C-alpha cells in the first residue's frame, strides 16, 4: 500500500505520472477540481512487476476493500458532491500499464467502474479487507470452484456404462487371445480423455457472488464469463440427485427469463454452500444486504404420500388401462390359436403398459413428500423421493395460476391441482411442467385457498364468470357450457375444459400482450377468442368463443386495466422501497430521482486503493 | 381500403380517424413475383404427367387450372396485404393481420423485450423489411412485414425509445 500511496494521492492534479506526457494529451481526462483526485492509471514503467501473474480473467476489482461493495452493474448515478470520476478504462497509448506478456485484460461487460490495472500497486489481495467468505482463491481471480466431486457426479453414469458393458467385452476379447481389440483400444483412449475433460472443466469453472449479479466463468478452450443479474432472478432451485444426497452435494439452478434452459447451473456444491448461496442471492434479489440471514418460513401445506398415490391411481389413462387390459388379454387368449401366440401378443402390449405407468410413476416420484412453505423470500417447495428438489419462487414472480380438476377427481374425491407459470421455468416439457406444480393434489377448497394466498388479493368467487353464446356449441359441443371468463380491476379469471377443467387466474399486470383471434368458423358464427399472453409455461390464459363485439370491447378494456395494474405492481426487488432500483425513470415514476441503492445508498464507490 | 372495414373487432379503438397504417403494396408484388415461378414449375410438371397419360387438351386444361389458381392467389395476396395493419398509440402498439385467420394483438411498449428488423435478399430486392416485436411471452405474435426500410428503422427506434420510457418488469 505504501508504494502506491504517495505516488497516487499526493501528485498535483493533472500531472501525468511518470513524468512523460503522453502524446495524446491528458487534459480531457483530468478530474474536476473539488473532488478528491482520481486514481491515475500508472504510467511509465511499472515500478515492480506484479507479484501474481495477471490473469486475463481476473475480476475487474479486487475483493471489495470496504463494506460497501462496488456496483459493477448499473453505472453509478453521479451524486452532486460525489465520487471522483473514474479514470479512463484504458490509459493513453504509450504508457504500458499491463505486463507485456499475455493478452490484454478482458473488460467485463457492463463493468463501468473500471479500476486502474494493478501493476503499480501491491497485489490486490493484499490491499484491503479480507476477501469475502467465498474467495478462498480457487480459480485465479478469487472465484470459487465447484465441489471436487462434481465431475464424478456428472459423469458416473457414462463411466458405469463403460465399466459394465464395454470392459467385460474388452476383457473377453483379450483373454480370448485376440489382444486388446478395437474396443479395448478405444477404451484406452476415451476413458482418459473423458476423465481429463471432466477434471479440466471442473478446474476452469468458477463462480462468485457479486453485489448485483452472480458471475460464473467456465470453459477450457473457449472461456465464457456470465453474469446473472440478481434482480432478474425468477426462481432458485436446489436439486439433489440420489447420489448427490449420499455425498451431501446439490446443484443450484438459477432461473432467469430468456433461453429455454436453466442459466448458469452450479453443479455441484455442498448442500450447506448451496443453501447459503441461495440465501445470499435471494437477499440480493430482494434488494437487501447480502448479509441478511435466511428468511424464516412458515409451512403452508404438505401432501401426504397416501393422497399422492391415490391421486396418481385415479388418473384417467390408468383407469382406462386397467379396464382395457383384461379385455384385450381375454380377446387375445380367446382368439390366439396357441398359448405361445397369446404370450407374444401380451409382449406387444407391454410398451403400452409402460407408456401409461411411466409418467404416473415419474409424477409420483417427483412430487413425493411435497411441502409448500411461505417466507418473505417467496414460496418454497420441497419435493422428491429419489432426487430431491427445493424450489424458491420469489414474490411477484408468478405470472399466472391454473387450477386443474381432472374428470376423475371431480367425480370421486373433489381434488384439484395447482400449476403456475414462472418465467424461466420455460417451455411445457415434462420437467418444466412438474417444476411449475404448486400443488400436486389437495381438496379443492385447500387449492382455492392456496391460490388466494399466492395471488394476494385475488378472489375466485368475487369475479363473476360470463358464459359464451349458445351458438358456440357448434364449435365446442362438450365444453361450451363450462367456458366462462370474467375480470376485475386487477384479475382475469377464465374457466374451460370438459374432461380436465381448468380455471386460470392471472394478475392483469402480468399480461405481456392482449390478443384477439378469429378463425373462419368463428367468423361465420360471429365469435372470437381473446388471449392474455403469459411467459411460457403450462398455463395459457384465454377466453374462447366470445361474441365478436364483446371480444372487441374486451381487448381494449383488458389492455387498459393491465396498464393501470402495472403502474401499481409489486417491484422486482420486492423488499426495496421502490420499483426496481436499477435504472432511473422506469415505471414513469413521478419522483424519479436517482434510484436509491438498497445497500450502498449514498456511498461513493470505493476506490480500489482506498485505505 | 381496409380488407375488413366496419368490423369493430379489428378496427382501432377510439375512432380518432387515424385508422390503420397499412404495409407497402410492394409486399404483394413480391409475393406475386415469388409465386409465379413456383406455380409455373408445378404447372409444367403436372402438364408433363398428364401428357403421358392423356392428350394435349387435358394438359391445356391443367395449365389453365394453374393459371386460374394464380389469378385467385393474385387477388388473395392483395387482400392479405391490405389486411396487415398497425397503429402506434400512446401506450401500446396494435398489429392486425389475416383474412381467414384474423388476429389483433395489443403490445404495451413497456412489455417489449427487443425489436428485430430483418430484411432477406428478396425483401431487399423489393425494398422491404420486417419488424418483429418480442415480449417475454412466446405467444405474442407481433410481426409487421412489408415495411419500407426507412419506416422499419423509424418504427424500431421509436419502439425502442418508448420501450425504455415505459419499461415494466415481467
Chain-chain contact of A572 with B169 (C-beta, under 8 angstroms): yes
Q: What pLDDT sits at residue A248?
A: 92
A607 vs A9: CA distance, rounded Å: 12
Chain-chain contact of B110 with A566 (C-beta, under 8 angstroms): yes
Chain-chain contact of A513 with B135 (C-beta, under 8 angstroms): yes
Residues of A in contact with B141 (CB under 8 A): 515
Chain-chain contact of A516 with B9 (C-beta, under 8 angstroms): yes
What is the chain B residue with the closest CA to A571? B169
Q: Is the dihedral of CA A467, A468, A469, A475 positive or negative?
A: negative
Chain-chain contact of A513 with B91 (C-beta, under 8 angstroms): no
Q: What pLDDT sits at residue A129?
A: 34
Can you give the C-alpha Rg of chain A in angstroms? 31
Work out how many CB contacts closer than 8 A connect A with B.
110
Mean pLDDT value of segment A467-488:
93
pLDDT tens readout for residues B26-38: 999 999 999 999 9
Q: What pLDDT sits at residue A295?
A: 78
| Lowest mean pLDDT segment, chosen from A126-140, A196-210, A363-377, A398-412 | A126-140
Chain-chain contact of A516 with B13 (C-beta, under 8 angstroms): no
| Beta strands at A527-533 and A513-518: parallel, antiparallel or unpaired | antiparallel
Minimum-distance CB partner of B111 among A397, A513, A551: A513
Chain-chain contact of B140 with A534 (C-beta, under 8 angstroms): no
User: Residue B136: pLDDT above 50?
Assistant: yes
Indicate the average pLDDT of chain A: 72
User: Residue B137: pLDDT above 60?
Assistant: yes
User: Residue A116: pLDDT above 50?
Assistant: no
Contact present, B167 and B136 (Cβ < 8 Å): no
Chain-chain contact of A513 with B108 (C-beta, under 8 angstroms): yes
* Range ranked top by mean pLDDT from A109-118, A130-139, A209-218: A209-218
* For chain A, counts of helices (H) and of strands (E): 14, 20
User: Residue A370: pLDDT above 60?
Assistant: yes
Residues of B in contact with A509 (CB under 8 A): 168
More confident call, A64 vs A551: A551
User: Residue A411: pLDDT above 50?
Assistant: yes
Q: How confident is the model at residue A101 (pLDDT cuts 50, 70, 90)?
A: very low
Residues of A in contact with B111 (CB under 8 A): 512-513
Q: What pLDDT sits at residue A505?
A: 93
Q: Which residue has the cell 471432466?
A: A198
More confident call, B2 vs A484: A484
CA distance A349 to chain B (A): 39
Minimum-distance CB partner of B106 among A517, A555, A579: A555
Mean pLDDT value of segment A489-516:
92
What is the chain B residue with the closest CA to A588? B166
A147 Cβ contact list (under 8 Å, min separation 6): A249, A268, A269, A270, A273
Q: What pLDDT sits at residue A176?
A: 65
* CA angle in degrees (0–180, nearest 5) for B58-B60-B65: 95
Residues of B in contact with A569 (CB under 8 A): 168-169
User: Residue A289: pLDDT above 50?
Assistant: yes
Q: How confident is the model at residue B8 (pLDDT cuts 50, 70, 90)?
A: low
Q: How confident is the model at residue B126 (pLDDT cuts 50, 70, 90)?
A: very high
End-to-end CA distance of chain B: 38
Residues of A in contact with B100 (CB under 8 A): 519-520, 523
Q: How confident is the model at residue B65 (pLDDT cuts 50, 70, 90)?
A: very high
pLDDT-above-70 percentage for chain A: 65
Phi, psi at residue A41, to the nearest 5°? Answer: -65, 130
User: Residue A520: pLDDT above 80?
Assistant: yes
Q: What pLDDT sits at residue A335?
A: 78
Chain-chain contact of A513 with B106 (C-beta, under 8 angstroms): yes
pLDDT-above-90 percentage for chain B: 63
B114 vs B156: CA distance, rounded Å: 9
Q: How confident is the model at residue B101 (pLDDT cuts 50, 70, 90)?
A: very high
Minimum-distance CB partner of A528 among B9, B91, B142: B9
Predicted TM-score (pTM) of the model is 0.71
| Lowest mean pLDDT segment, chosen from A56-70, A482-496, B96-110 | A56-70
Q: Is the dihedral of CA A273, A279, A281, A284 positive or negative?
A: negative
Minimum-distance CB partner of B107 among A513, A548, A551: A513
What is the chain A residue with the closest CA to B13? A556
A231 Cβ contact list (under 8 Å, min separation 6): A212, A284, A285, A287, A572, A573, A580, A582
Nearest Cα neighbor of A254 from A226, A296, A294 is: A226
Minimum-distance CB partner of A518 among B9, B107, B139: B9
Q: What pLDDT sits at residue A573?
A: 62
Contact present, A552 and B8 (Cβ < 8 Å): yes
User: Residue A205: pLDDT above 80?
Assistant: yes
Q: How confident is the model at residue A267 (pLDDT cuts 50, 70, 90)?
A: confident
Contacts of A561-566 with C-beta under 8 Å, sequence gap 24+, read: A561/A487, A561/A489, A561/A490, A561/A508, A562/A508, A562/A509, A562/A511, A562/A514, A562/A532, A562/B108, A563/B91, A563/B92, A563/B108, A564/A489, A565/A489, A565/A490, A565/A507, A565/A508, A565/A509, A566/A509, A566/B108, A566/B110, A566/B168
Minimum-distance CB partner of A559 among B92, B166, B167: B92
Mutate which of A257, A425, A513 to disrupt the B interface (most B C-beta within 10 Å)? A513
Q: What pLDDT sits at residue A157?
A: 79
Residues of B in contact with A259 (CB under 8 A): none
More confident call, A528 vs A347: A528
| Lowest mean pLDDT segment, chosen from A48-52, A198-202, A502-506 | A48-52
Chain-chain contact of A552 with B9 (C-beta, under 8 angstroms): yes
Amino acid at each position: 500500500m505504501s508504494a502506491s500511496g504517495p505516488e497516487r494521492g499526493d501528485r498535483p492534479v493533472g500531472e501525468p505520472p511518470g513524468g512523460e506526457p503522453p502524446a495524446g494529451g491528458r487534459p480531457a481526462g483530468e478530474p474536476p477540481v473539488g473532488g478528491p483526485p482520481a486514481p491515475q492509471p500508472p504510467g511509465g514503467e511499472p515500478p515492480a512487476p506484479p507479484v501474481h501473474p495477471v490473469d486475463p480473467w481476473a475480476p475487474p476489482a479486487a475483493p471489495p476493500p470496504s463494506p460497501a461493495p462496488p456496483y459493477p452493474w448499473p453505472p453509478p448515478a453521479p451524486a452532486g458532491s460525489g465520487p471522483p470520476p473514474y479514470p479512463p478504462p484504458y490509459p493513453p497509448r504509450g504508457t504500458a500499464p499491463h505486463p507485456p506478456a499475455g493478452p490484454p485484460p478482458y473488460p467485463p461487460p457492463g463493468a463501468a467502474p473500471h479500476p486502474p490495472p494493478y501493476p503499480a500497486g501491491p497485489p490486490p489481495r493484499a490491499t484491503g479487507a479480507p476477501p469475502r467468505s467465498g474467495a478462498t482463491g480457487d480459480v485465479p481471480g478469487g472465484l470459487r470452484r465447484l465441489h471436487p466431486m462434481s465431475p464424478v457426479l456428472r459423469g458416473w453414469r457414462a463411466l458405469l456404462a463403460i465399466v459394465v458393458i464395454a470392459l467385460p467385452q474388452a476383457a473377453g476379447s483379450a483373454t480370448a487371445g485376440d489382444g486388446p481389440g478395437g474396443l479395448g483400444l478405444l477404451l484406452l483412449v476415451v476413458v482418459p480423455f473423458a476423465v481429463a475433460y471432466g477434471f479440466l472443466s471442473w478446474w476452469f469453472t468458477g463462480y462468485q457472488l457479486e453485489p448485483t449479479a452472480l458471475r460464473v466463468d467456465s470453459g477450457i478452450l473457449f472461456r465464457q464469463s456470465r453474469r446473472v443479474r440478481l434482480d432478474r432472478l425468477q426462481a432458485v432451485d436446489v436439486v439433489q440427485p440420489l447420489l448427490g444426497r449420499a455425498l451431501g452435494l446439490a446443484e443450484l439452478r438459477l432461473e432467469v427469463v430468456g433461453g429455454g434452459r436453466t442459466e448458469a447451473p452450479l453443479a455441484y456444491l455442498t448442500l450447506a454452500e448451496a443453501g447459503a448461496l441461495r440465501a445470499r442471492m435471494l437477499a440480493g434479489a430482494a434488494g437487501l444486504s447480502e448479509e441478511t440471514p435466511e428468511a424464516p418460513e412458515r409451512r403452508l401445506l404438505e401432501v401426504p404420500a397416501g393422497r399422492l398415490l391415490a391421486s396418481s391411481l385415479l388418473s384417467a389413462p390408468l383407469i382406462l388401462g386397467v379396464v382395457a387390459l383384461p379385455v384385450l388379454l381375454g380377446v387375445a387368449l380367446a382368439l390366439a390359436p396357441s398359448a405361445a401366440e397369446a404370450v407374444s401378443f401380451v409382449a406387444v402390449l407391454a410398451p403400452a403398459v409402460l407408456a401409461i405407468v411411466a409418467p404416473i410413476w415419474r409424477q409420483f416420484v417427483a412430487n413425493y413428500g411435497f411441502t409448500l412453505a411461505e417466507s418473505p423470500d417467496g414460496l418454497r417447495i420441497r419435493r422428491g423421493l429419489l432426487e430431491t428438489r427445493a424450489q424458491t419462487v420469489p414474490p411477484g414472480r408468478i405470472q399466472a395460476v391454473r387450477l386443474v380438476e381432472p374428470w376423475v377427481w371431480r367425480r370421486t374425491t373433489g381434488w384439484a391441482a395447482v400449476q403456475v407459470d414462472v418465467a424461466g421455468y420455460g417451455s411445457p416439457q415434462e420437467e418444466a411442467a412438474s417444476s411449475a406444480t404448486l400443488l400436486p393434489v389437495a381438496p379443492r377448497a385447500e387449492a382455492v385457498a392456496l391460490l388466494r394466498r399466492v395471488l394476494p388479493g385475488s378472489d375466485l368467487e368475487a369475479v363473476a364468470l360470463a358464459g359464451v353464446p349458445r351458438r358456440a356449441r357448434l364449435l365446442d359441443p362438450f365444453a361450451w357450457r363450462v367456458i366462462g371468463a370474467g375480470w376485475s380491476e386487477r384479475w382475469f379469471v377464465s374457466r374451460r375444459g370438459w374432461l380436465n377443467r381448468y380455471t386460470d387466474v392471472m394478475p392483469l399486470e402480468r399480461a405481456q400482450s392482449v390478443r384477439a383471434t378469429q378463425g373462419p368458423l368463428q367468423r361465420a358464427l360471429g365469435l372470437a377468442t381473446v388471449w392474455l399472453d403469459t411467459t411460457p409455461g403450462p398455463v395459457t390464459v384465454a377466453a374462447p368463443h366470445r361474441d365478436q363485439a364483446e371480444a372487441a370491447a374486451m381487448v381494449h378494456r383488458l389492455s387498459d386495466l393491465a396498464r393501470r395494474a402495472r403502474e401499481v405492481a409489486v417491484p422486482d426487488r420486492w423488499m426495496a422501497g421502490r420499483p426496481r432500483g436499477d435504472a432511473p425513470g422506469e415505471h414513469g415514476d413521478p419522483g424519479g430521482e436517482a434510484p436509491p441503492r438498497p445497500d450502498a445508498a449514498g456511498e461513493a464507490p470505493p476506490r480500489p486503493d482506498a485505505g | 381500403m381496409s380488407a375488413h372495414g366496419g368490423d369493430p373487432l379489428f378496427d382501432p379503438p377510439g375512432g380518432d380517424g387515424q385508422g390503420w397504417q397499412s404495409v407497402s403494396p410492394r409486399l404483394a408484388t413480391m409475393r406475386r413475383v415469388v409465386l409465379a415461378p413456383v406455380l409455373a414449375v408445378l404447372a409444367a410438371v403436372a402438364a408433363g404427367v398428364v401428357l403421358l397419360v392423356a392428350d394435349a387438351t387435358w394438359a391445356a386444361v391443367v395449365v389453365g387450372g394453374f393459371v386460374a389458381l394464380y389469378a385467385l392467389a393474385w387477388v388473395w395476396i392483395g387482400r392479405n396485404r391490405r389486411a396487415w395493419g398497425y397503429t402506434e398509440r400512446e401506450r401500446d402498439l396494435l398489429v392486425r393481420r389475416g383474412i381467414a385467420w384474423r388476429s389483433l394483438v395489443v403490445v404495451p411498449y413497456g412489455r417489449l423485450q427487443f425489436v428485430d428488423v430483418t430484411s432477406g435478399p428478396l425483401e431487399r430486392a423489393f425494398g422491404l423489411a420486417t419488424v418483429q416485436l418480442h415480449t417475454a411471452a412466446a405467444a405474442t405474435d407481433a410481426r409487421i412485414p412489408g415495411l419500407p426500410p426507412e419506416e422499419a428503422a423509424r418504427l424500431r427506434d421509436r419502439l425502442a425509445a418508448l420501450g425504455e420510457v415505459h419499461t415494466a418488469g415481467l
